[in-house]
Amino acid sequence: MITVIQPDPKVTVDRFGQWLKAGFRIVELFRNPVPRMEECAGGIVVLGGTMNAVEGPEWLPALRQLLVDAVDKEIPVLGICLGHQVLATAFGGEVVVGTADAKEDGPYEIRVNDAGQADPVLRVLGESAIMPESHNDAVTVLPPNAQLLASSSRCEVQAMRIGSAVSVQFHPEASPATMARWAEMSGLDGAEMQRLMELADAPIRAAGQAIAAAFSAECSAEGR
């Protein structure tokens, strides 16, 4: 069973709830501590959140250590947005908070490089895909030994791989309604965001579902 770690009540598992075929349980960090390593052997997903990965809440060091331990034990990990940034800081990468140059809200083209097209999870996107973005922070320096998998025009580190962990800056789980709600929280036009996301939703939904299936397959390997 996959352990889905949810740092923020406003950022839920959303459509991944329908798509994670390996089965999952949710650990809400705003109510519960970071789970123990032995509880997470089936795989880990770390969702996004409105806090940051540099000076975050009291659970941040324990979450970083959990991800390091998971990779050491070759347990599959998928980091999404904040989860992507926490993974980067856990392994010695750098995250910039509130960088206007890399801020993205809405549907963006993700360009998948050769390494990404060979990756067991990211390869489902092919050479490129439109995916939902909602972030103010960004990974600016890859951790040592991390492999860059994908980029966008505004944010170079859109996806990376560190051993058994893969992470993405974009939100493969997010529905148009969720993107609209996040836009309103950021002072943007929620109705316009929903319109834009609905226009692009057919390929986004297919790509998000494919990522969830590919990660579930990694978690199911060897009887996890």
Q: What size, in residues, is the chain?
A: 224
Which one of 84, 104, 171, 219 is the catalytic residue? Answer: 171
Q: What beta strand segments (E) does 2-137 contain?
A: 2-6, 24-28, 44-46, 77-80, 94-96, 104-112, 128-135
Which sign does the torsion angle of CA 137, 46, 214, 119 carry? positive
CB atoms within 10 A of CB 35: 17
Which one from 81, 133, 218, 219 is the annotated catalytic residue? Answer: 81
Lookup: tokens for 63: 């979450």
* CA 88 – CA 41 distance, rounded (Å): 21
User: Which residues are 139's β-sheet partners?
Assistant: 95
**Catalytic residue (one of 104, 133, 173, 218):** 173
To the query of whether residue 133 is one of the catalytic residues in this protein, the response is no
Rounded distance, CA 175 to CA 101, Å?
Answer: 25
Cβ-contact 95, 88 below 8 angstroms:
yes
- Known active-site residue 135: no
Separation of alpha carbons 44 and 46, rounded Å = 7
93 closest CA partner among 66, 59, 53, 134 = 53
In whole angstroms, give the CA distance from residue 80 to residue 87. Answer: 9
| Cα–chain center distance at 41 | 19
**40 catalytic, yes or no?**
no
Catalytic residue positions, numbered: 81, 171, 173
